[in-house]
A and B are shown apart, each in its own frame.
Chain A
Amino acid sequence: MRITWWFRKNLIRVYMILGFTYLFIPVAYTFAFSFNNGGKSNLVWKGFTLGNWQNPCGAPDVCVALGNSIRVGVISTVLATILGTLIAFAIGRHQFKGRSTINTLIFLPMATPEVVLGASLLAMFLNLGINPGFWPVVIAHVMFCISFVVVTVKARIASLDPRLEQAAMDLYANEFETFRKVTLPLVAPGIAGAALLAFSLSFDDFIITNFNSGTLTTFPKFVYVASARGIPPQANVIGSAMFFLALFIVIAGQLVSRRKAR
């Protein structure tokens, strides 16, 4: 009786713990195995070491791949965020012919299977005489990130009260000043969120990148290739570091917005 009663009372708590366990076991596993003294293959636990964290570039080429991923990610994020934000403002703030069509079309890249996109892009680049490599990957990443940026920024613009901009104009701010002093600061959190999303999409992408990268190695590609002969623990170190960096950005963002609201 008592056990049933306790269980009923704590059902949601138990459920929550199970749910989070399910979500975080892979992360915990990755983190734990970043301390494995595993040598070249990191499949079996062979003892604790801090060596992997002290020398994250220890495995051959892992940091070259990481560097490529970061470069592709940063360039794609900047381009996709600028272009996507401009599109979002055009759709969200102006009436023009074909607006609703664009609104629908912008979703298409999100709905298309990545394998198809990747293969088509490769075919297109080859037909244009462009060899796979760094810039084709950047172009591909910008392309699939734009849609996500547009959707994120557009949602923020839609939630913006147009009377705030009218109030700014009423208070002697011309169009440019209104944008700079009122519109942009209010949409900025949406743009920042979109940029983070774009970066993580780019950093994480394997399928489209694999088709279009040629000899260029990105971090996901490195891990995939390495898995054939054993993933080095340095991959776990980098993976864990990325996870904590993302966590830090989210928490910092929360703290900043909470302080701003106060």
Chain B
Amino acid sequence: MADASSSTRGDLRIVNVTKSFGDFNAVDDLTLTIPEGSFFALLGPSGCGKTTTLRMVAGLEEPTQGSIHIGSTDITHTRPYQRPVNTVFQNYALFPHLSIYENIAFGLRRRGIKDVKEAVNKVLNLVELPHLAERKPVQLSGGQQQRIALARAIVNRPALLLLDEPLGALDLKLRRQMQIELKWIQTEVGITFVHVTHDQEEAMTMADTIAVMNEGKVEQMGTPADLYDNPKTAFVANFLGQSNLIEGRIEGNDGDNFVVDVFGQKIKINKNRSHAKDSSVLAGIRPEKIRIQPAGTAMSGNVLTGGVISDASYIGVSTQFQVEMPWKQELMVFEQNDDGVAPLEKGDAVTLSWEPIFTFALDGREDAFAGSEVHADEE
């Protein structure tokens, strides 16, 4: 088998890659290693450079500077058809004049493989659509086209499969189902998947490792849990889920913790979760980590008093509170509806508390709202 992929295997390494369009750097000195066999997500808002990065790996754009390698092979300037890389395009880009069978066989035939039947049928079974082989792409639903686009790519057994917003055109229910299915298929075929998306939930559901991109650079890279629990920048803290970021000042040490003053009240932050550059910090806490009790209740851990509920929305599994603090900042609190106590209402005076280990600290000079406004644009 004239297998373009067997000679080139290994980690994908993007080294100091810059891509400029005129004066604008879509990708800015990006260095990234994606381990072989992983499910990797490039997550970021539109215009962050994630799609440009993907297109450079596919060979559809050429880097202005830097190099791209798979294993020990430099693929920076090779043509798309010379790379052991296949892409699932955003709108699938199935060939409208060819049957589903011929669409899937396309890559195999181009590589001079004569007997494609077994491979095509096998991959059609993998995506559970063997009965559609003779149809044309227009006769398929969006979800079916999505699977065929995936089948057309993985039948080639590339070293690397690129997915460009693959679920963007599907409705919510189908998207959820495909997330699970994609993850399963990745495990099944063992190919490195690089997935580009602006949907943080999608990235967290599927990927082993996520790189959060913003303005052409990687803000932070790690496992979903790592990024969520220990974000290093305000952009990551706000783009992945929601965060309360409170201005504070490091006043001292207490064992493994910093003691931080926030508007006259003292809280503790684990030193491992501090990314502060000096004593000025943004103390971060996720809304669902906060416990909320009527004012006066004795509470342990990090405690903030003096809050007044300014808004409460009941959404079934939980209630979302907006709590106005004495320093006029609104904090978000998500409370599970699991204890049957009399629900708190708008106007109630409350005390907030949480386990110190859940707190993270960011550089105090950061914009506390970075990354939060982009969500509204996208969804």
Contacts and interface: CB of A to CB of B under 8 A. Distances in A.
Q: Do A and B bind each other?
A: yes
Interface of A: 161, 163-164, 166-174, 177, 181-182, 185-186, 260-262
B81 A174 contact: yes
A172 B97 contact: no
Given A166-B80, A166-B89, A171-B156, A260 B111 contact: no
Q: Which of B79, B93, B152, B153 has the most chain A CB atoms closer than 10 A to its own CB? A: B93
Contacts of B294: none
A115 B27 CA distance: 58
Contacts of A167: 87, 89, 93-95
B97 A163 contact: no
Q: How large is the interface on B (under 10, 10 to 19, 20 to 34, 35 or more residues)?
A: 20 to 34
Which 10 residue pairs across A and B have the least CB separation, nearest first? A171-B107, A172-B110, A167-B93, A169-B80, A163-B93, A172-B81, A173-B110, A170-B87, A185-B97, A171-B106
B85 interface: yes
Interface in B56-77: 58-60
Given A168-B106, A261-B138, A174 B79 contact: yes
Contacts of A260: 97, 136
18 contacts: A163-B89, A163-B91, A164-B95, A164-B96, A167-B89, A167-B95, A168-B95, A169-B60, A170-B58, A170-B85, A171-B106, A174-B81, A177-B110, A181-B106, A185-B97, A260-B97, A261-B136, A261-B138
Given A164-B95, A182-B95, A261-B138, A171 B86 contact: yes
B107 A172 contact: yes
A177 B107 CA distance: 11
Q: Which of B85, B91, B106, B139 has the most chain A CB atoms closer than 10 A to its own CB? A: B106
A79 B86 CA distance: 39
A169 B93 contact: no
B362 to A, nearest CB: 39
B89 A172 contact: no
Interface of B: 4, 58-60, 79-81, 85-87, 89-91, 93-97, 106-107, 110-111, 136, 138-139, 152-153, 156
Contacts of A170: 58-60, 80-81, 85-87
Nearest to B135: A262
Contacts of A177: 110
Given A164-B95, A166-B93, A182-B95, A171 B152 contact: yes
Contacts of B60: 166, 169-170
Nearest to A164: B93
Contacts of B95: 164, 167-168, 182
Contacts of B79: 169, 174
Given A163-B91, A261-B136, A169 B81 contact: yes
A172 B4 contact: yes
Contacts of A163: 89-91, 93
A262 B99 CA distance: 10
A174 B136 CA distance: 24
B152 to A, nearest CB: 7
A169 B82 CA distance: 9
A173 B95 CA distance: 13
Contacts of A169: 59-60, 79-81
B97 A171 contact: no
Contacts of B139: 262
Nearest to A162: B93
Given A170-B58, A170-B60, A173-B106, 14 more contacts: A163-B90, A164-B95, A167-B89, A167-B95, A169-B60, A169-B79, A169-B80, A170-B59, A170-B80, A171-B110, A172-B111, A174-B79, A186-B96, A262-B136
Nearest to B102: A181
A163 B91 CA distance: 9
A172 B59 CA distance: 11
Contacts of A262: 136, 139
A163 B87 CA distance: 11
A173 B58 CA distance: 13
Contacts of B111: 172
Q: Which of A163, A170, A182, A262 has the most chain B CB atoms closer than 10 A to its own CB? A: A170
Contacts of B96: 164, 186
Nearest to B110: A172
A169 B152 CA distance: 13
Contacts of A173: 81, 106, 110
B59 to A, nearest CB: 8
B53 to A, nearest CB: 16
A4 to B, nearest CB: 46
B228 to A, nearest CB: 33
Q: Which of A168, A177, A262 has the most chain B CB atoms closer than 10 A to its own CB? A: A168
Contacts of A168: 95, 106
A177 B106 CA distance: 11
A254 to B, nearest CB: 17
Nearest to B105: A171
A190 to B, nearest CB: 13
A186 to B, nearest CB: 6
A52 B362 CA distance: 96
